[in-house]
């Protein structure tokens, strides 16, 4: 896979994370959205979702984005894959690296009012019985320009959604949508991450550059500012220690990638590759770490596993995404409002090579295969237990995203966010 390109030294690197839902109609069609009524002259399409807010679980951004943009409600949201791209904004003095997380979404009920391959865009019958209405979901909207004539309801290839009157109990849709067949997708000018996700023969795992996402909101000006560090009190200019009452935590959102590497056929019972945090007596965590600016998550994980365990990693599927939000002091002493986003992958490494730490003065000082039966006694962090459960659910075909935790962790109760 191509290595991440370097950022021009004159541009400050900025990272952000976006999450999107891939909603299928069960017959090969995927729900795409676009701005209605000609407000976007290019008529561009994308997936429901958007930029993940500080402290927000990406799964919740998909759920909220789907509801806000279409009025549809998600029944299940399961991690699917991740990609990345870099957009350089010389006028703002920044290089923006966006990590894009994709989730498979199933809906409550059958979506009505949305055209697609082989299906008619049906407007719910308000005179039908309650049971019939409960089986439908609807795409509310307010722009009559995109409402097709009644004759279009008989055409399964209607170009856009049927826009029905807004429901006062639901958000008003900002977009119109349609289920697109694979052949239709190939004719659309899709962003690179969409092509990778939706087209079988699209190139994968490359970090695209200059490929601005279609439905992302305008860049938040606050994101482009240097992180604020509380200024010292003028009356305490000689003080070596900051006054906690005067400190303002710096907001940090840090994406990272980790691997669940399990040897199920080990002679002494199933075992798991773990790394011990440097400076700790017995704190063991998953191999992996932070995704650097411009990196795709999989190459980042391959780099981290080589540094922490000296082994060649063969990438597997994304099995879980966790989100943790807490306030604590970083290793260098700065007070941070920290949002950790952890992508958990399956995969494999050679079983006939002894793991060993390659990186000098890194965050870990030992790597070893640990029997799964011993995880509780050796000091494995909660993320290791949760990742193992997600890996087992994925292996058994039972993963539905329900086991992903989104909780506040007290400083010191979890491994470093590095």
* Statement to judge: residues 356 and 271 lie in one domain: yes
Question: In this structure, is residue 316 part of a structural domain?
Answer: yes
Report the mean per-residue pLDDT for the chain. Answer: 75
pLDDT at 153: 37
Question: In this structure, is residue 161 part of a structural domain?
Answer: yes
What are the structure tokens assigned to 121, written together? 């865009």
Most confident of 7-11, 26-30, 89-93, 202-206: 89-93
pLDDT at 264: 96
* Band of pLDDT at residue 184, cut at 50, 70 and 90: confident
* Cα-to-chain-centroid distance, residue 60: 10
pLDDT at 234: 38
Average pLDDT over residues 161-168: 44
d(CA 218, CA 210): 15
**pTM score of the predicted model:** 0.78
β-strands 136-138, 262-263: how paired? unpaired
pLDDT at 130: 41
In 227-360, DSSP assigns E strands to: 250-259, 262-263, 271-277, 284-285, 288-290, 314-329, 335-348
Question: In this structure, is residue 226 part of a structural domain?
Answer: no
* Statement to judge: residues 145 and 261 lie in one domain: no
* Statement to judge: residues 200 and 256 lie in one domain: no
230 and 48 Cβ atoms separated by less than 8 Å = no
71 and 138 Cβ atoms separated by less than 8 Å = yes
What are the structure tokens assigned to 264, written together? 């199920």
What are the structure tokens assigned to 136, written together? 């439908």
Distances from the Cα of 327 to the Cα of 57, 134, 207, 407, angstroms: 16, 43, 31, 12
* Statement to judge: residues 181 and 287 lie in one domain: no
The closest of 324, 354, 342, 344 to 388, measured between CA atoms, is: 344
Average pLDDT over residues 296-324: 95
Please enumerate in sequence order all residues whose Cβ is within 8 A of that of 391, keeping only pairs 6 or more positions apart, or say none: 260, 262, 319, 320, 344, 346
Distances from the Cα of 194 to the Cα of 27, 214, 279, 325, angstroms: 19, 10, 42, 29
* Statement to judge: residues 210 and 290 lie in one domain: no
d(CA 346, CA 305): 13
β-strands 314-329, 271-277: how paired? unpaired
* Statement to judge: residues 205 and 332 lie in one domain: no
* Statement to judge: residues 196 and 266 lie in one domain: no
What three-state secondary structure class fits 148? coil
For residue 90, the enclosing domain spans 12-214
Question: In this structure, is residue 287 part of a structural domain?
Answer: yes
What are the structure tokens assigned to 373, written together? 């039966």
d(CA 52, CA 32): 19
Question: In this structure, is residue 242 part of a structural domain?
Answer: no
Residue 312, domain CATH: 3.90.79.10
* Statement to judge: residues 71 and 155 lie in one domain: yes
β-strands 74-89, 208-209: how paired? parallel
pLDDT per residue over 221-254, tens digit each?
555 555 544 444 333 334 445 555 678 888 889 9
* Statement to judge: residues 304 and 395 lie in one domain: yes
Question: In this structure, is residue 380 part of a structural domain?
Answer: yes
Q: Residue 161, Cβ neighbours under 10 Å: how many?
A: 30
* Band of pLDDT at residue 6, cut at 50, 70 and 90: low
Question: In this structure, is residue 108 part of a structural domain?
Answer: yes
Question: In this structure, is residue 418 part of a structural domain?
Answer: no
pLDDT per residue over 50-71, tens digit each?
889 999 999 999 999 888 887 7
Bridge-partner residues for 134, per DSSP?
none
pLDDT per residue over 94-135, tens digit each?
888 999 999 999 987 666 556 555 444 444 444 444 433 333
* Statement to judge: residues 192 and 48 lie in one domain: yes
d(CA 343, CA 318): 7
d(CA 233, CA 41): 52
What are the structure tokens assigned to 301, written together? 């994980």
pLDDT per residue over 188-197, tens digit each?
777 778 888 8
pLDDT per residue over 263-302, tens digit each?
999 999 999 999 999 888 889 999 999 999 999 999 999 9
* Statement to judge: residues 143 and 202 lie in one domain: yes
Q: How many domains does the chain have?
A: 2
What phi-psi label fits residue 144: left (phi over 0), alpha (psi between -120 and 50 degrees) or beta?
A: alpha
> For residue 373, which phi and psi values (nearest 5 degrees)?
-65, -15
β-strands 12-23, 49-51: how paired? antiparallel
* Statement to judge: residues 177 and 316 lie in one domain: no
DSSP annotation of 8: P
């Amino acid at each position: 896979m191509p290595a991440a390109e370097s950022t021009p030294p004159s541009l400050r690197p900025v990272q952000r994370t976006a999450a999107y839902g891939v909603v299928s109609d069960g017959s090969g069609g995927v729900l795409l959205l676009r701005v209605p009524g000609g407000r976007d002259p290019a008529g561009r399409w994308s997936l429901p979702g958007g930029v993940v807010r500080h402290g927000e679980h990406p799964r919740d951004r998909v759920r909220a984005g789907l509801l806000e943009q279409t009025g549809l409600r998600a029944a299940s949201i399961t991690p699917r894959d991740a990609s990345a791209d870099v957009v350089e904004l010389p006028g703002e003095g920044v290089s923006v690296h966006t990590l894009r997380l994709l989730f498979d979404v199933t809906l409550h009920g059958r979506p009505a009012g949305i055209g697609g391959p082989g299906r008619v865009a049906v407007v719910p019958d308000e005179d039908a019985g309650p049971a019939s209405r409960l089986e439908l979901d609807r795409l509310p909207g307010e722009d009559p320009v995109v409402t097709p004539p009644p004759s279009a309801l008989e055409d399964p290839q209607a170009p856009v959604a049927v826009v029905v009157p807004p429901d006062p109990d639901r958000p008003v849709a900002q977009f119109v949508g349609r289920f697109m067949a694979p052949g239709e997708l190939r004719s659309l000018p899709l962003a690179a991450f969409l092509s990778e996700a939706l087209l079988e023969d699209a190139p994968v795992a490359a970090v695209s550059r200059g490929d601005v996402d279609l439905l992302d909101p305008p860049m938040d000006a606050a994101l482009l500012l240097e992180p604020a560090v509380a200024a010292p009190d003028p009356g305490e200019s000689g003080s070596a220690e900051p006054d906690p009452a005067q400190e303002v935590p710096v907001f940090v959102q840090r994406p990272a990638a980790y691997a669940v590497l399990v040897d199920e056929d080990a002679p002494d019972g199933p075992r798991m590759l773990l790394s011990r945090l440097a400076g700790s007596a017995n704190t063991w965590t998953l191999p992996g770490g932070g995704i650097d600016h411009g990196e795709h998550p999989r190459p980042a994980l391959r780099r981290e596993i080589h540094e922490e365990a000296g082994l060649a990693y063969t990438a597997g599927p994304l099995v879980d995404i966790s989100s943790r939000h807490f306030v604590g002091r970083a290793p260098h002493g700065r007070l941070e409002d920290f949002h950790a986003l952890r992508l958990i992958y399956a995969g494999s490494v050679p079983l006939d090579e002894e793991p060993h730490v390659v990186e000098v003065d890194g965050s870990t000082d030992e790597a070893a295969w640990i029997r799964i039966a011993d995880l509780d006694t050796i000091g494995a962090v909660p993320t290791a237990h949760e990742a193992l459960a997600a890996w087992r659910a994925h292996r058994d075909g039972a993963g539905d995203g329900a086991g992903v935790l989104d909780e506040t962790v007290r400083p010191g109760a979890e491994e470093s966010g590095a």
